[in-house]
Amino acid sequence: MHLSRSSARRWQVTGVVAVAVALTGVGLGVASAGDRAAVRAAAPTVSCPAVAGELGAVPATARAEIERNLAQLNTQIAEANKRLATSAGEGGPDFVQNAILGPLKDKRVAAINRMATAIGRSAPKPDLDVQKLATCTLTGAGAAAPAPESTAVKTAPPETGTGGSGAAATVDCPAVSGLPSIPAQARDEVTRNLALLDTQIAEANKRLASSVGQGGPNFIRNAILGPLEDKRVATLNRIETAIGRNAAKPEGLERFAPCGLRG
């Protein structure tokens, strides 16, 4: 079939327009993808206070847990940065605070508190400004991301007073003396509590032996001798009460409660 000149010209014009529209669409698609990439590249990043340096010397028994939680802080920041990049332009003026920085702070508070608790099991619990350390801000758009949280920690030196060779010291407690004549009705209870004093000393010696090198300079006092003294006060008070039910109650047995270290 032959086309007239006018019909052929109309087909040529239509084809040119279709090609132009198609090329324009491709160009718009490329431009749109480029714009999205530019937005992602310009997204701000999270900047958080360093925590590791605030912990001080960490007991050897807590080191693994501390390092695990420090690594978790880095994971939390990475997740927040990813959310910032993928949500650029979303939400209102409070979107970043409510959806990203606020939840990040809550996670950091929990992680920092876990670290303080882990240290406190074997040494004095660090006095941290948790709210300040947990609060993060944003860097300027396009700025380099801050350095990650260090996961290396200082290990506490061995506890002093446990022997230069690493051998554990032993507990030295005063013998309970000067008890009045014990009524027959109280004899079993008094005997049982005197035996409990020996058991408490044995448990403290076992803890001393198994914790050589742990904690800071106050570890033995806070974790062993202090709790032992509290137990001995309670036990000695029970002895006084048992005797006092059927005779004159002895007073002042608490003087036998404090213990020291031998060797």
pLDDT band at 165 (very low <50, low <70, confident <90, very high): very low
**90 or 133, which is more confident?**
133
Report whether 155 contacts 256 (CB < 8 A): no
The helix, strand and coil proportions of the chain, stated in percent and rounded to the nearest 5, come to 60, 5, 35
Domain parsing of the chain, residue ranges: 42-138, 170-262
Question: For the residues 135-141, what does the mean pLDDT come to?
Answer: 85
Q: What is the amino acid identity at position 102?
A: G
Give the pLDDT band (50/70/90) at residue 56. confident
Question: Quick one: CA torsion of 144, 138, 43, 51, rounded to 10 degrees?
Answer: 60
Chain segment 206-241, per-residue pLDDT in tens: 888 888 777 776 888 899 999 999 999 999 999 999
Per-residue b or e along 236-250, where b marks 16 or more CB atoms closer than 10 Å to that residue's CB: bebbbebbeeeeeeb
Confidence band for 159, pLDDT divided at 50, 70 and 90: very low
DSSP state of 58: B
Q: What percent of the chain has pLDDT over 70?
A: 76
pLDDT, tens digit, 9 for 90 and up, residues 15-24: 544 444 444 4
pLDDT at residue 79 in the model: 93
Neighbouring residues of 257: CB distance < 8 A, sequence distance ≥ 6: 229, 232, 233, 236
Mean predicted confidence (pLDDT) in 117-122: 82
- Answering whether pTM is above 0.85, one says no
Give the E-state strand segments of the chain in sequence order: 46-47, 137-138, 170-172, 260-262
| pLDDT range class, residue 30, cuts 50, 70, 90 | very low
**What letters, b where the CB count within 10 A reaches 16 and e where it falls short, cover 140-177?**
eeeeeeeeebeeebeebebbeebeeeeebbebebeebe
Mean pLDDT of the residues in the chain: 80
* Averaged pLDDT for residues 39-65: 81
Residue 106 pLDDT: 94
| Statement: residue 129 has pLDDT above 50 | yes
Residue 104 or 141, more confident: 104
Q: What is the identity of the amino acid at 214?
A: Q
Give how far Cα 229 sits from Cα of 139, 189, 219, 235, Å: 53, 20, 15, 10
Coil vs helix vs strand at 254 = helix
CA–CA distances in Å: residue 109 to residues 69, 72, 115, 117, 149: 11, 12, 10, 12, 15
pLDDT of residue 232: 95
* pLDDT value of position 126: 86
Mean pLDDT, range 138-147, rounded to an integer: 73
- Distance of alpha carbon 111 from alpha carbon 121, whole angstroms: 16
What is the pairing mode between strands 170-172 and 260-262? antiparallel
Bridge partners, 262 (sequence order): 170
pLDDT at 48: 93
